[in-house]
Amino acid sequence: MWIKICGLHDITTAQEVVKLSPDAIGLNFFASTPRAVSVDVAAQIVAQLPKKTEPVGLFVNHSLDEIDATTRQCRLPTVQLHGGEPVQLLADLNSRAILKIIRAWRLGAEGLDSLADYFDSCCKLGVNVAACLIDARVDGMYGGSGKTVCWELLNEQYRHDQWPPMILAGGLHPGNVAEAIERVRPWGVDVASGVESAPGTKDLKLVEQFIREARRAFEAVDG
């Protein structure tokens, strides 16, 4: 069971969200999104987090040096790579810093054959991927689209016994997260736009409802 609230970009909102006890929060360093956070603000947010809340830095086609510098300045233990990052970059990250890597993958009608090839390459280079986040493929967007993943296709093709633990994202909100957990059986869930009143503006009531519904569903599935 792992619940992440992604796209926090101001200290006050982050403090209020953390009070609702998510397992992790996401700090998005991709400039072309209303959820982007500055490195300085992210560092302040991380400095105030309780130990039980995992901060995750989200990067989209950033360079190795950019990721390295940001994670060090913000003291981030975990990165989420949401662009077209090659396997070699993950290998270089592994060799340069002790970081957990979440590889995000956007699922479209083409399925997960390319993800299988990607993980094969990770194995050949000895790359350790802690988890795989599955989001919906929307041209020109790297998450936060509000579009739901095709759960049926995901169930058919995700190799739970061979691949890293799956984190389900894409179009989740308080009204469907329980059904998503029941049908897909992910290790974790991730939400950004599904708990917002406007792009980039978190609605704390929706955040609370999402966490409550997700925990209830995970407990039912695990029990």
Q: Choosing from 74, 135, 150, 190, which is the catalytic residue? A: 135
* Gap between the Cα atoms of 176 and 112, Å rounded: 23
Query: Sign of torsion, CA 1 91 110 28?
Result: positive
Contact call for residues 76 and 55 (beta carbons, < 8 A): yes
Q: Among the options 6, 74, 132, 150, which is catalytic?
A: 6
Handedness of CA 144, 145, 146, 150 (dihedral sign): negative
Query: Longest C-alpha distance within the chain, in Å?
Result: 45
Residue 116, both tokens: 């299988």
- Cα separation, 101 vs 90, in Å, equals 8
* Whether 139 is catalytic: no
The DSSP string of 73-96 is HHT-SEEEE-S---HHHHHHHHHH
How far apart (Å, rounded) are the C-alpha atoms in residues 71 and 108? Answer: 30
Strand 166-168 to 100-107 pairing: unpaired
Q: Which two tokens stand for residue 9?
A: 């970009």
123 catalytically annotated? no
Measure CA of the first residue to CA of the last residue in the chain; give whole Å: 12
* Residues designated as active site: 6, 135
